[in-house]
Amino acid sequence: MSVVVDKTGSRVKQMFGEISGRYDLLNHLLSGGVDYYWRWRTVRKCSPEGDAPILDVCTGTGDLALAYWKRGRGQIEVQATDFTPEMLVLARIKRDKQIGKAIAAGGQPLEFGEADTQELPFRDDHFQIVSVAFGLRNVSDTQRGLKEMLRVCRPGGRVAVLEFSVPGNRFFRAFYLWYFKNILPLIGQLVARNQQSAYNYLPASVSEFPHGQALADIMTACGMTGVTFTPLTFGISTLYIGRKPA
């Protein structure tokens, strides 16, 4: 039976709130740990330039925000937002455990705040990088979210989108889609029981979300220039980078 992808804000917020306690475990388990590598590639391919602040939206439990803070060696302020309070609680615990002492010793802050990516509470032209990892497809209006990310990005700055995609190789794609639709929901639901069928939602949301050139074109239509996209791990995920016109 097909799954209707309901991306209304209240439904997505409740769903991620319900699975927040097992979110990290499941991400690492279901990706075979390769999600660490994807974030490592992101902060190196879209590396900080100068000391202007960085923003990570749809941050979840804060892994990409932490990766950017570490990439800046604690000398660049990082802001991170999510609209699921339960995720932010875990993100703050993770921050305090990993870099709390470094911040207390004089490092720049890493702050987590509750906000909808479609209505970011920041002034125009502020951040050198605005990033999102595996969260853009959960924003109910993709273009509105991208335009907000671009709005708060400084001229000449970059928007980085790390998102699941569908592999190009037809044999690997067939196996990937079979796993995503049949095995992943069973494991996910067993480990993180919830009322919103989060791990049925995941493959459905990935299958319907634009990827490759299609998403690059949307980013260009939202006002970004020089948009590039780099498939990672046989195209399971893709890193997109676009610049805000100077």
Summarised one tens digit per residue, pLDDT across range 70-109 is: 999 999 999 999 999 999 999 999 999 999 999 999 999 9
Query: Which residues, 6 or more positions from 220, have their beta carbon under 8 angstroms from its beta carbon?
Result: 227, 242
> How do residues 168-205 score in pLDDT, each as one tens digit?
889 998 988 888 778 877 776 666 555 545 566 766 77
- CA 145 from chain center: how many Å? 12
The encoded tokens of residue 44 equal 């190196």
Task: Decide if 141 is inside a domain.
Answer: yes
Task: Decide if 4 is inside a domain.
Answer: no
Task: Decide if 221 is inside a domain.
Answer: yes
The CATH number of the domain holding residue 99 is 3.40.50.150
Number of domains in the chain: 1
Asked if residues 80 and 91 have their Cβ atoms less than 8 Å apart, the reply is yes
Beta strands 127-133 and 78-82 are unpaired
Expressed as residue numbers, the domain containing 39 is 23-168+210-243
Task: Decide if 177 is inside a domain.
Answer: no
Asked if residues 159 and 149 have their Cβ atoms less than 8 Å apart, the reply is yes
Task: Decide if 174 is inside a domain.
Answer: no
Angstrom CA distances, 172 to 168, 178, 203, 221, 236, stand at 8, 10, 16, 31, 10
pTM above 0.95, yes or no: no
Spatial CA neighbour of 64 closest among 206, 196, 191, 161: 161
